[in-house]
Amino acid sequence: MWRYFKKSKLGIIGLVVISVLICAAIFAPLITPVGYEELRYLNKINSLPSRDNWFGVDSVGRDYFTRVVYGTRVSLFVGFTAALIALIVGVTLGALAGYFKGIVDWVIMRLVEIFSVIPALLVAIFFVTLFGSGIQNIIFIIGLVSWRNICRLVRGEIITLKEREYFIAAKAIGAKPLRILFRHLLPNAIAPIIVGLVVCSSRAIMLEAMLSFLGIGVNPPTPSWGQMISDGLYYIQFYWHLPLFPSIFLALTVLSLSLVGDGIRDAMDPRLRGRS
């Protein structure tokens, strides 16, 4: 698979960027000069990027580079864990719907439709109002509103796979449904699942930023790009660095995840392989 993936230049760029960001997130304490909640630069409020403060200082005297880097940690962590939750929910429900059809399928698909009709952001806001904000809640909530795409992908894939001979063969020798599902069908549906996971995590990151932008996401002082953009907008006229840096990082993260997702899809799709 790597053989095919490395042919996609954009995919490679995305992978490099995302790896750098992951490293930055892991080693954040090593590469930043001060703590993200320390009001260390009270006499340099809002100052522009300089040699001491690479990204400048924010409106309450915190080093902005530190905050942006720690923001990477929050964003990626929320994005990936929420996507994992979405994956577990989505794959389970999708597999059940695709395999059993009938009433199970009907119920699950109606559920998917309900979630598709209402914008994810709205549902997320509703749940935050119910359960409160904070990083754990946000992860669960984002996971809960993002599973529908994976669910639909998996269901479709299972339905096609059920037409294959090996499925009929497995059924003929009397294998139990769960064994067929997990041993024979799902491993063959891994390609769309991986693509779904990558796309889902980039959406989760975006959703977290939106919630934090609205002030109901991650609790301060934990840095979050969405919240930093929102606070920075007040000062955009003269202190452009405040909204700019978190926006760049957010855009880079979401873009490179999409590129990686595209790369994987192309690499796994036999119909596209011959073309490049």
Partner 1 sequence: MSKTKKVIGLILISLILITGTSSLVFAEKPLPADAALDQILHYPLLGEAGTYVDFMKTIYQCLFGVARITQEALFQYNKDLEVVPMGTESWEISNDGLSWIFHLRKELKWSDGKPVTAHNYVFALQRAAEQGYDFSWYWKSAAGIKNWEKVEKGELPIEELGIKALDDYTLEITTNVYKPYLLGVLTLLYPVPQHAVTEYGDEYATKAETMVGNGPFKIAEWIKGSHITCLPNPNYQGIWKPYLQEVILKYGTINAETGFPAYLNDEIYKSNLNSGQLPYVRQNIPQELHFWPAFRINYLSFDTTKPPFDDVRVRQAFSYVLNREELCSTVLKDVAIPEYSVLITGFPGHDPIEAKELSEYNIELARKLLAEAGYPEGKGFPELELWIKKNEQNTIIHIPAATYFQAQFKEKLGINIIPRIIERKTYTDAQNQHTHNFFFEGYGYDYLDPSNFMDLFLSGGRHAWSNPEYDRLVREADTTQDWDKRIANYRKAEKILIQEAPIVAVFQRIDNSVWKPYLKGEGVEPNKNGIVIWDTNLYQYIFTHIYIAKH
Q: Does 269 bind partner 1 (CB under 8 A)?
A: no
Q: Does 49 bind partner 1 (CB under 8 A)?
A: no
Closer of 29 and 215 to partner 1 (Cβ): 215
The label of the residue with tokens 């309450």 reads 60
Tokens for 134, please give them. Answer: 């904070």
**Which of 164, 234, 273, 276 lies at the binding interface for partner 1 (CB under 8 A)?**
234
Q: Are 194 and 10 in contact (CB under 8 A)?
A: no
Q: Does 33 bind partner 1 (CB under 8 A)?
A: no
Q: How far apart are CA 262 and CA 254, in angstroms?
A: 12
Q: Does 238 bind partner 1 (CB under 8 A)?
A: yes
Supply the minimum distance, in Å, between the C-beta of residue 80 and partner 1: 24
Q: Does 43 bind partner 1 (CB under 8 A)?
A: yes
Q: Does 60 bind partner 1 (CB under 8 A)?
A: yes
Q: Are 207 and 142 in contact (CB under 8 A)?
A: yes
Tokens for 190, please give them. Answer: 């891994």
Q: Does 220 bind partner 1 (CB under 8 A)?
A: yes
Q: How far apart are CA 266 and CA 270, in angstroms?
A: 8
Closer of 182 and 234 to partner 1 (Cβ): 234
**Which of 22, 39, 111, 170 lies at the binding interface for partner 1 (CB under 8 A)?**
39
Q: Does 219 bind partner 1 (CB under 8 A)?
A: yes
Q: Of 100, 80, 102, which is closest to residue 92 (Cα–Cα)?
A: 100
Cα four-point dihedral sign 72, 78, 79, 84: positive
Supply the minimum distance, in Å, between the C-beta of residue 132 and partner 1: 9
User: CA distances (Å), 124 to each of 81, 89, 142, 174, in order?
Assistant: 16, 16, 7, 44
Return the residues of window 118-157 that contact partner 1 according to CB under 8 A: 133
Q: How far apart are CA 48 and CA 53, in angstroms?
A: 8
**CB under 8 A: which stretch of 65-73, 93-101, 174-182, 215-223 binds partner 1?**
215-223
Q: Does 46 bind partner 1 (CB under 8 A)?
A: yes
Q: Are 82 and 257 in contact (CB under 8 A)?
A: no
Q: Which residues bind partner 1 (CB under 8 A)?
A: 37-39, 42-43, 45-46, 59-61, 133, 215, 219-221, 231, 233-239
